[in-house]
């Protein structure tokens, strides 16, 4: 393990609310001499959000985040340590692809909201042979791009208004341009982020990254020097020889190292005020091959004996590179005095979250992720496509109750907005429906928060067609629009979704189906339509509820006709 300076952990004082101090004040004598001292409020915490790209649920070597299915090939020692010291959320969800997850994180809204309207990376209308036609997504009122509307108040803007310095490092994707990240989406500075979906090549060439990475990162693209390797790579290397490290000197900088340099530079310059550092890793998104991996790590994994998990050296190298990025950030927080908190380490007043933007892509040629026992992978609404690792860490137990505690609160990407705003004591935008919940009670006490999770795709992503789902406790109900069918899974007994229980539990299907139809109605979810050229569909003698055109309709032995161009409704028959 790298050398780390040691500090005595001193918890910052708990935040006192007016309600908690009112009884003391009410009972105090009127004289100034006997008055109770005013409560001292801890400085608002710094916030660090780190997100890997396409990292699978079982790609970390720790089993804490994934029900015991840790990876026995990849090595992620610092993330494992964060999981042991912090709190892990085993029921955390993203979206089927990266862009809807990112839009949800920045807006705090489900994709079904018209001010979000991002469901996938590309068009979801589907092939001409598909029976249904998916919706048109993106910024419909502006230019139709699959990006956040520039007039929407993002999480970054909310924190800016609350006095936070905000810096962004890495992939953004849901902006119309790199300039929008700063001009319209709430970040004071941006290094590398743009409208592009991924880094097409991971290394700089002649001190510049290619045009898939914003040139704002090029200031950190200089070749490796001996001092850089000694200070920023060697302390975090395991199983790599000194000769392999020295061979990096004079070679091209890897984008993971460069964006970490940028994030640390921002934190160092911003520590006199509360800050949000958003580190959006480009790795380990495809292309995943030998040309993309840092040579020292690639050599390590090529020499390693495979275990039970898929063994792809370049993927293991990219994943451990992300782990080293996290390690550098955590070490900086632990070793740097906080000028706002009496010189204690920054880590004593900082909340760090680590996650992934969707399920891993289990393509051994282009990717190499592993979702363990979960069904399917990136792009699908089964668990392998949407469940992600989620670690929360702080050295202040008042901010995060740690100790490797596993929390079964169901987390949704929309929760980041409300949670970070709560930590920052920031006012939420007025009149804006936010779909997330405040997770600070779960983070600070380890309490499980009971809530439902929803997902909706009114179109096509690869083999995934128009579908909706609701997760309620151990149960997950999945609805397919093309044939009006339900699937029901018990995720406690059957995390791999191998046994459909819908036929055995019609009452439960209906109860969960009522939750789902209520959510579709509340968020005015758009629906796919019957494609032109398809025969008219007639459903006779239907009793139950339908959702279409933004409303719920109750039926009693009705005939429902769906012509080409009509929305294909959500059908919930009475059991």
Q: Classify domain 466-573 at the CATH topology level.
A: Arylsulfatase, C-terminal domain (3.30.1120)
Domain boundaries of the chain, sorted by first residue: 46-123+134-391+410-456, 466-573
pLDDT at 101: 98
Closest CA to 124 of 462, 357, 530: 462
Q: How far is CA 238 from the centre of its chain?
A: 28
Q: Please tell me whether residue 517 adopts helix, strand or coil conformation.
A: helix
Q: Which among 3, 106, 173, 555 is annotated as catalytic?
A: 173
What pLDDT is stored for residue 143 in this prediction? 79
The sheet carrying 452-457 orders its strands as 452-457, 467-472, 475-480, 485-490
The predicted pLDDT at position 128 comes to 96
Tell me the C-alpha to C-alpha distance, in Å, between residue 376 and each of 71, 220, 263, 271, 463. 17, 37, 34, 42, 11
Q: Radius of gyration of the chain from Cα atoms?
A: 25
pLDDT for 239 equals 96
Collapse the DSSP code of 541 into the 3-class scheme (helix H, G, I; strand E, B; otherwise coil) and give the result: strand
Q: What DSSP line would sit under 257-320, residue for residue?
A: HHHHHHHHHHHHHHTTS-EEEEEE--TTSSP-SGGGS-HHHHHHHHTSPP-SS---HHHHHHHH
What tokens appear for 279 in the block? 């580190």
Q: How far is it, in rounded angstroms, from Cα 270 to Cα 264? A: 10
Q: Among 59, 6, 7, which Cα is nearest to 323's? A: 59
CA–CA dist 278, 371 (Å, integer): 25
Peptide bond preceding 312 in cis form (omega within 30 of 0): no
Distance (Å, rounded) from C-alpha 14 to C-alpha 154? 28
| pLDDT of res. 5 | 30
Longest dimension (CA), the chain: 85
Asked if residue 92 lies in contact with residue 429, where contact means CB atoms within 8 angstroms, the answer is no
Decide: helix, strand or coil at residue 108: coil
Find out whether 568 and 531 touch, Cβ atoms under 8 Å.
Answer: no
What 3-state DSSP class applies to 372? coil
Q: CA 101, CA 505: separation in Å to the nearest integer?
A: 32
Alpha-helical regions (H) of 370-505: 383-386, 415-423, 440-445
Out of 3.30.110.30, 3.40.50.450, 2.30.110.10, 3.40.720.10, the CATH code matching 46-123+134-391+410-456 is: 3.40.720.10
CA distances from 41 to 382, 421, 424 (A): 44, 17, 13
Active site residue 173: yes
The tokens describing 24, both together, are 């003391």
Residues 160, 421 contacting (CB under 8 angstroms): no
Pairing of strands 92-93, 387-388: antiparallel
- The alpha carbon of residue 480 and the mean position of all alpha carbons in its chain are separated, in whole angstroms, by 25
Cα dihedral sign for 235, 237, 243, 247?
Answer: negative
The CA distance from 67 to 65, in Å, is: 6
Model confidence pLDDT, tens digit, residues 85-143: 999 999 999 999 999 999 999 999 999 999 999 999 999 999 999 999 999 999 877 87
- What is the DSSP pairing of strand 46-52 with strand 350-356? parallel
Catalytic residue among 98, 285, 453, 456: 98
Give the pLDDT confidence score for residue 553 in this predicted structure.
98
Coarse DSSP helix, strand, coil percentages of the chain, rounded to the nearest 5 percent: 25, 20, 55
Per-residue pLDDT, 36: 54
Q: What is the pLDDT of residue 163?
A: 98
3-state secondary structure at position 506: helix
- Low-confidence stretches of the chain (pLDDT < 50) are 1-33
pLDDT at 527: 98
Count of beta carbons in the 10 Å neighbourhood of residue 541: 10
Q: What is the DSSP letter of 192?
A: S
Q: How far apart are CA 463 and CA 458, in angstroms?
A: 13
């Amino acid at each position: 393990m790298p050398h780390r300076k040691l500090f005595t952990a001193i918890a910052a004082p708990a935040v006192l609310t007016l309600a908690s101090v009112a009884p003391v004040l009410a009972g105090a004598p009127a004289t100034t001499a006997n008055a109770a001292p005013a409560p001292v409020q801890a400085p608002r915490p710094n916030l660090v959000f780190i997100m890997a790209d396409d990292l699978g649920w079982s790609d970390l070597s720790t089993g804490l985040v994934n029900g015991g299915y840790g990876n026995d090939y990849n090595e992620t020692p610092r993330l494992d340590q964060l999981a042991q010291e912090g709190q892990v959320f085993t029921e955390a969800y993203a979206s089927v692809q990266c862009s809807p997850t990112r839009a949800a994180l920045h807006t705090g809204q489900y994709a079904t909201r018209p001010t979000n309207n991002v469901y996938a990376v590309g068009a979801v209308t589907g092939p001409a042979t598909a029976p249904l036609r998916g919706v048109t997504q993106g910024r419909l009122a502006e230019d139709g791009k699959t990006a956040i509307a520039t007039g929407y108040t993002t999480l970054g803007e909310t924190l800016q208004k609350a006095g936070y310095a905000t810096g962004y490092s890495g992939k953004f994707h849901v902006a119309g341009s790199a300039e929008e990240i700063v001009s319209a989406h709430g970040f004071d500075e941006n290094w590398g982020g743009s409208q592009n979906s991924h880094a097409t090549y991971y290394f700089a060439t002649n001190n510049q990254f290619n045009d898939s990475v914003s040139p704002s990162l090029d200031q950190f693209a200089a070749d490796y020097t001996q001092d850089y390797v000694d200070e920023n790579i060697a302390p975090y290397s395991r199983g790599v020889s000194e000769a392999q490290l020295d061979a990096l000197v004079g070679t091209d900088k890897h984008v993971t190292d460069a964006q970490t340099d940028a994030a640390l530079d921002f934190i160092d310059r911003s520590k006199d005020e509360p800050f949000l550092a958003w580190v959006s890793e480009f790795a380990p998104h495809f292309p995943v091959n030998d040309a993309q991996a840092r040579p020292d790590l690639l050599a390590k994994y090529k020499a390693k004996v495979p275990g039970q998990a898929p063994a792809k050296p370049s993927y293991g190298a990219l994943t451990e590179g992300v782990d080293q990025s996290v390690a550098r950030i955590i070490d900086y927080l632990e070793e740097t005095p906080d000028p706002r908190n009496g010189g204690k380490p920054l880590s004593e007043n900082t909340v760090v979250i680590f996650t992934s933007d969707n399920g891993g892509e289990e393509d051994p040629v282009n990717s190499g992720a592993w979702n363990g026992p979960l069904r399917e992978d990136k792009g699908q609404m089964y668990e392998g496509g949407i469940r992600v690792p989620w670690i929360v860490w702080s050295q202040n137990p008042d901010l995060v109750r740690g100790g490797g505690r596993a929390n079964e609160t169901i987390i949704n990407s929309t929760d980041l907005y409300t949670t970070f705003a709560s930590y920052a004591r920031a006012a939420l935008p007025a009149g804006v429906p936010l779909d997330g919940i405040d997770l600070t009670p779960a983070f600070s006490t380890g309490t499980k928060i009971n809530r439902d999770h929803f997902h909706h795709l009114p179109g096509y992503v690869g083999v995934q067609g128009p579908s909706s789902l609701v997760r309620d406790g151990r149960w997950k109900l999945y609805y397919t629009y093309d044939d009006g069918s339900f699937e029901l899974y018990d995720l406690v007994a059957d995390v791999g979704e191998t046994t459909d229980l819908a036929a055995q539990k019609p009452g439960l299907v209906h109860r969960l189906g009522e939750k789902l139809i209520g959510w579709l109605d509340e968020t005015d979810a758009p629906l796919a339509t019957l494609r032109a050229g398809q025969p008219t569909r007639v459903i006779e003698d239907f009793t139950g509820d339908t959702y279409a055109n933004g409303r719920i309709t109750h039926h009693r032995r009705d005939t429902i006709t769906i012509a080409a161009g009509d929305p294909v409704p959500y059908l919930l028959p009475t059991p």
